[in-house]
Structures are given as C-alpha cells and as structure tokens.
C-alpha cells in the first residue's frame, strides 16, 4: 500500500489543507445563511423585524456580534477558498460539506437560541408560530446531517488518498 | 431646535470654504503624484481617484449641502456622518498620502515624519484597539448623551464633533488596513477581531438609536436614521473587509514564495 511514505512536511500540509477546506466551507455556509436571512426574511418578505420590542440587552449584543461576524466570515471564507485553489489544495466536496454544516449550524442556533431563548425576533408575527418553527429547525438539522455525512466521506477518501500518495 | 443668527452666517461660511480648500488639497496630491511618477515607480491612478473621492466626501460632509449647524434632521446628520466618518476616511487611507509624502519630502523632513510616527503617543493612537474605541466610543457618546442636542446649539461643538468623526474614522481605517507605513504592525487575526468587535458595536448602537432616539430627535426620524446607519455601515464594512482580506491573500503569497505548503501559517 505505502510504496513511498510522504514526508512529514507534506503530511502536515495535507492535514492543514484538509482543516482549512472544512473551515472555509463552514464560515461560508454560516455567512450565506445570515445573508439569506437578512435579504429574504427581513428585506423582501418583512417577516422579521429590524428591531423587536421584546429583545433583551444580551440579545442585542448577540445579534450585533453575529451580524458583524457573519459578514466577515462570508468574505474571508471566499479568500480562503481562493488561497486553497492557488496552492492546489482545494477539495470541493469537503468544502461543500463544510458549507452545509455551517449553514445548518447557524440556522439551528438562530432558530433555537436567538428566536426562542433570547427572543430577538420571531420568524413571523400574528400567525401560529409552531409550523414555522418546526420547518425552520428541522431544515437546519437536515442540513447539519447532510454536511456531516459529506465530511465523513471525504475524511475517509482523504486518508486513503494520503496512504496512496 | 434653536438656530441663532450667528449660526446662519456660520452656515454660509461652512458652505464656501470646503470647496476652495478641498480643491487645493486635490491639486496638491495630483501634483505630488505627477512628481513622484518622474522619479519613482508609477503612482497608481486608483490612489489619485481615491484621494479625490475622499476629499470630495469630506467637502460634502463638512457642509457642502447640509450647511453647518442648522438643524436639518437626523437622516441628513447620518448622511453627513457616513460621508465624513466612513466613506472619506476609507478613501483617504486607500490613497496612501503618507507614502506619497515620504517619497517627495527631502530626506531630513522624511526622517522627521517617521520619527513623529514612532512617538509613543502616536503609537498608542494608531493601535487598532485605541482607534476603535475613539471611533465607536465617540459615536456612543454622541447618540446616548445630551451631546447631540448640545452640538446643534453651538458651532464650536458642532465643528469639533465633525472633526472627531473624520479623524477617528481615519485612525480606525488606517489601523486595520496597512496601506501607509506603520511602525508597529499587528497580525491579521488580531486586526480581524478588532474589526468584527467594532463593527458589532456599530450595529448594536444603530439598534439602540432606533428604539431610544437621542434627545430632541423625533421617533420616525431616529428610526430612518438608525436604519441608514445600520445598512450604510454594512456597505462600508463589506468594502473594508474585502480590502483587508485581499491584503491577507497577497501577504500569504509573498510569504509563501520559495516554500510550498502550509508549514508557515
């Protein structure tokens, strides 16, 4: 199987590249959902409010931090992607796995912590919330599962790939 | 809002002088860029454009259309604030005026400039954390204390607040983006954290303004102004982050030359 063992430096680089592919994807997924949330639910549908009177102080801080972080994450992750391509270390399937995991993770956090616990805002107003909440959070969970399956598969492939090279 | 006769003449003054001064500033820079082209590597055209745009934004924000301390409403104030405190500083940082000045100044003067930039006080001022505090903290003071109302009663306070908007905005942008030479550089990750925290403080403050308007500002005006502050701030932040990340992307390439891979992250 291992005819020529790769140098320690190369293995380190591959592990680093593998983690970076994942992180770049996760950050992009997170930023993408935050952007989607802002553009579709706040701006187009007006389902979410700019400011909800039930928001607590900690909710406001959390919202501001997440807003700033997701903005940074979207842009930074794409530059990371460009950097991986430049180094010829890009593994698109692993990157997409990260995107789904990041997107689902953010949506679940938004749905459970920000909507329910901190009560920043609700998905809609003056309607029965239950179906909306269920769809929102189940979709988030499905995205997380899809992402994790893809990441696990590319993890196996990468191990085989590394022992082959 | 009380606007005295003195404020009105102040308004006229504010309308005229920026135009003249700022045309002179633009001409000086373009002249310097021309001279630099004769002696050194070509000075990029985009930098000259950034300078003219930056100087123009200062002129507009300093009173071109909002005419000094006459109270024109919160949305107009917020437009001024964006021009003076965000758009102009970013453009002026991108124009690299200190680099251009260092190219053309006689050696002795250039040494004095670099010596000045190395003074402990200046180093504290251009520290990313200090700059962020001066910038966001100043805004916090203006919108959550009676300062906003005081400002509209006094030309002096009005001028100082707007000067602070511009200078602290410049410091904040310059301490995140290293376009001009900096004596002590901070890592990309440190600056990224400062950038995220200060832009979070900005968006939190805009929501605070939305639900508790500064004294003397009607609720509808405060809400419109707060949304302008929030989304306008986003546009500038996206520009700032993109330039910041591009600097990272380029720096990593330079460092990587010679060694291939991730051995030096």
A45-55 average pLDDT score: 68
Taking contacts as CB-CB distances below 8 angstroms, the residues of chain A near B238 are: 71, 75
- DSSP secondary structure code for residue A54 in this structure: T
SS3 state of residue A63: helix
Query: Rounded to whole angstroms, how far apart are CA atoms B239 and B223?
Result: 25
Alpha-carbon torsion (B176, B179, B180, B186), positive or negative? positive
Q: Which of B200, B208, B256 sits opposite A68 (nearest CB)?
A: B200
Cα of first residue to Cα of last residue in chain B, in angstroms, is: 57
CA-to-CA dists, residue A159 to A11, A90, A94, A101, angstroms: 11, 16, 13, 21
Weakest mean pLDDT among A2-6, B46-50, B207-211, B226-230:
A2-6
Query: Rounded to whole angstroms, how far apart are CA atoms A52 and A21?
Result: 37
Q: Which of A53, A68, A86 sits opposite B199 (nearest CB)?
A: A68
Residue A22 scores a pLDDT above 50: yes
- Lookup result for tokens 């180093």: B123
Residue A164 scores a pLDDT above 50: no
pLDDT per residue as tens digits for the range A100-124: 999 999 888 887 777 767 666 766 6
CA-to-CA dists, residue B185 to B37, B38, B188, B190, angstroms: 28, 31, 9, 10
- DSSP secondary structure code for residue A6 in this structure: P
Chain B: residues touching A (Cβ < 8 Å): 192, 195-197, 199-204, 207-208, 210-211, 227, 230, 234, 237-238, 241-242, 245-246, 248-249, 252-253, 256, 260-263, 265
The winner for highest mean pLDDT among A64-73, A123-132, B157-166, B238-247 is B238-247
Furthest CA-CA distance within chain A: 67
- Lookup result for tokens 């000094």: B68
**Higher per-residue confidence, B200 vs A91:** B200
Could you tell me the pTM of the whole model? 0.83
- Helix/strand/coil (H/E/C) assignment for every residue in chain B: CCCCHHHHHHHHHHHHHHHHHHHHHHHHHHHHHHHHHHHCCCCCHHHHHHHHHHHHHHHHHHHHCCCCCCCCCHHHHHHHHHHHHHHHHHHHHHCCHHHHHHHHCCHHHHHHHHHHHCCHHHHHHCCHHHHHHHHHHHHHHHHHCCHHHHHCCCHHHHHHHHHHHHHHHHHHHHHHCCCCCCCCCCCHHHHHHHHHHHHHHHHHHHHHHHHCCCCCCCHHHHHHHHHHHHHHHHHHHHHHHHHHHHHHHHHHHHHHCCCCCCCCC
Nearest-neighbour CA in chain A from B18: distance (Å): 34
Burial environment of residue B184 by CB neighbours within 10 A (0 to 12, 13 to 18, 19 or more): exposed
Residue B97 burial (CB count, 10 A): 20
CA angle B213, B76, B66 (to 5 degrees): 140
Nearest-neighbour CA in chain B from A154: distance (Å): 20
Residue A156 burial (CB count, 10 A): 9
Contact at 8 Å (CB) between B165 and B231? no
Contact B200 A61 (CB under 8 A): yes
CA angle B140, B146, B149 (to 5 degrees): 110
Query: Rounded to whole angstroms, how far apart are CA atoms A80 and A86?
Result: 10
Residue B263: the pLDDT is 46
Nearest-neighbour CA in chain B from A119: distance (Å): 15
ipTM: 0.81
Residue A60 burial (CB count, 10 A): 19
Residue in chain B lying closest to A54 (CA)? B211
Q: What is the mean pLDDT of chain A?
A: 80
Contact A13 B261 (CB under 8 A): yes
Weakest mean pLDDT among A31-40, B168-177, B196-205:
A31-40
Residue B188: the pLDDT is 94
Nearest-neighbour CA in chain B from A120: distance (Å): 12
Residue A112 phi, psi dihedral angles, 5° rounding: -90, -55
Which residue out of B254, B256, B261 would a mutagenesis test of the A interface target, given it has the greatest number of A Cβ atoms within 10 Å? B261
Weakest mean pLDDT among B15-24, B101-110, B254-263:
B254-263
pLDDT per residue as tens digits for the range B53-74: 999 898 888 764 445 445 568 8
Residue B3: the pLDDT is 42
Q: Which of A22, A35, A20 is nearest to A106 (CA)?
A: A35
Q: Which of A17, A61, A69 sits opposite B204 (nearest CB)?
A: A61
Contact A82 B249 (CB under 8 A): yes
Band (pLDDT 50/70/90 cuts) for residue A163 is very low
């Amino acid at each position: 199987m291992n005819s020529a063992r790769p140098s320690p430096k190369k293995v380190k680089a591959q592990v680093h590249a593998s983690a970076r592919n994942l992180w770049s994807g996760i950050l992009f997924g997170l930023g993408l959902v935050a952007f989607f949330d802002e553009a579709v639910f706040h701006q187009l549908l007006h389902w979410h409010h700019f400011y909800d009177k039930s928001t607590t102080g900690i909710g406001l801080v959390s919202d501001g931090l997440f807003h700033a972080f997701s903005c940074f994450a979207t842009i930074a992750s794409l530059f990371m992607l460009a950097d991986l391509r430049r180094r010829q270390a890009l593994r698109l399937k692993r990157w997409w796995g990260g995107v789904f995991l990041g997107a689902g993770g953010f949506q679940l956090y938004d749905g459970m912590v920000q909507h329910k616990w901190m009560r920043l805002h609700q998905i809609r107003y003056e309607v029965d919330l239950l179906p909306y909440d269920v769809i929102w959070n189940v979709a988030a969970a499905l995205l997380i599962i899809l992402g994790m399956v893809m990441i696990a598969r590319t993890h196996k492939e990468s191990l085989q790939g590394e022992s082959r090279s | 809002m009380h606007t005295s006769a003195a404020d009105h003449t102040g308004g006229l003054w504010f309308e005229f002088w920026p135009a003249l001064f700022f045309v002179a500033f633009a001409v000086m820079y373009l002249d310097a860029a021309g001279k630099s082209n004769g002696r050194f590597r070509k000075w990029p055209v985009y930098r000259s454009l950034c300078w003219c745009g930056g100087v123009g934004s200062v002129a507009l924000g300093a009173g071109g259309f909002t005419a000094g301390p006459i109270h024109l409403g919160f949305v107009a104030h917020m437009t001024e604030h964006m021009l003076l405190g965000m758009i102009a500083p970013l453009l002026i940082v991108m124009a690299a005026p200190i680099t251009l000045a260092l190219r053309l100044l006689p050696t002795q003067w250039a040494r004095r400039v670099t010596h000045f930039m190395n003074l402990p006080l200046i180093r504290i001022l251009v520290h990313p954390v200090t700059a962020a505090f001066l910038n966001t903290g100043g805004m916090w003071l203006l919108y959550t204390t009676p300062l906003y109302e005081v400002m509209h009663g006094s030309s002096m306070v009005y001028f100082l607040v707007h000067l602070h908007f511009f200078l602290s905005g410049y410091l904040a942008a310059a301490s995140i983006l290293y376009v001009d030479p900096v004596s002590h550089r901070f890592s990309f990750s440190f600056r990224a954290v400062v950038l995220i925290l200060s832009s979070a403080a900005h968006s939190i403050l805009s929501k605070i303004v939305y639900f508790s308007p500064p004294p003397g500002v009607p609720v509808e005006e405060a809400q419109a102004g707060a949304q302008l502050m929030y989304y306008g701030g986003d546009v500038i932040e996206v520009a700032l982050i993109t330039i910041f990340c591009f600097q990272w992307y380029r720096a990593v390439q330079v460092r990587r030359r010679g060694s291939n891979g991730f051995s030096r992250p």
